Amino acid sequence: MIHLNNVTKTYPNGSVGVEGINLHIQKGEFVFIVGSSGSGKSTLIKLLLKELDPTSGDVMINMVKTNELNRSQVPYLRRNLGVVFQDFRLLPNKTVYENVAFAMRVIEAPSRTIRRNVPAVLSLVGLGQKSRSYPNELSGGEQQRTALARAIVNNPPILICDEPTGNLDPETARGIMQLLDDINKRGTTIVMATHAREIVDEMQKRVVTLQDGHIVRDVEKGGYSDEA
């Protein structure tokens, strides 16, 4: 499903984001990407989202070599990717319902499909009673649940999460992780970059550790610091 083959990203100033990365993620996996600041996590996530192209090597998602796509093809690639960020990135002047529906309108989903799917996904993330609320009326956890609902409403096969619990208290973070685990069990492949050591240790999923742009550990089922 996701294949990075000998991927290196060097920035114009000469700094190396990642170097010689080989990473293969199969359909239905839940993979944590961990490492200290500057280890290459952000570069890796941006490569998966095609916000960056590799300097060398190939990034393949669903059998598509993303570094060969032109700009007009990128939106079609991203329809296969749900994305959840640390800072929620909700539209402040739209309600919870409208924020989630917006993701469907972008791909020109029929109105009847929007009316059916948005309430269903809001119910799934526990926000069925908050559909008319605006982001500034929500707690941090509710905002992240809204962002998660928006990311999955089009049923993408892959969900990319960049520090999704970074702004949340531990109890709220656990609730978000339970939701992500449930979504994964429904068949969605999840790749999550995080600094949250306790969450990684509790979840016991595959853990890929980056250091200075290299993969130094890849544990099939373990914690933040488990040896391969």
Structural domain ending residue among the three candidates 155, 173, 208: 155
- Is pTM beyond 0.85? Reply is yes
Same domain, 34 and 99: no
Please give the Cα distance from 87 to 147 (Å, whole number).
9
Structural domain ending residue among the three candidates 111, 139, 155: 155
Residue-number span of the structural domain to which 107 is assigned: 91-155
Span 183-207, pLDDT tens digits = 999 999 999 999 989 999 999 999 9
In this prediction, residue 228 has a pLDDT band, given cuts at 50, 70 and 90, of very low
Same domain, 216 and 189: yes
Same domain, 1 and 75: yes
Number of other residues whose CB lies within 10 A of the CB of residue 72: 7
C-alpha count within 13 angstroms, C-beta hemisphere, residue 179: 28
Task: Identify whether 166 is part of a domain.
Answer: yes
User: Residue 23 — φ and ψ, nearest 5°?
Assistant: -140, 130
Q: Average pLDDT over the chain, rounded to whole?
A: 92
Query: Is the model more confident about 76 or about 144?
Result: 144
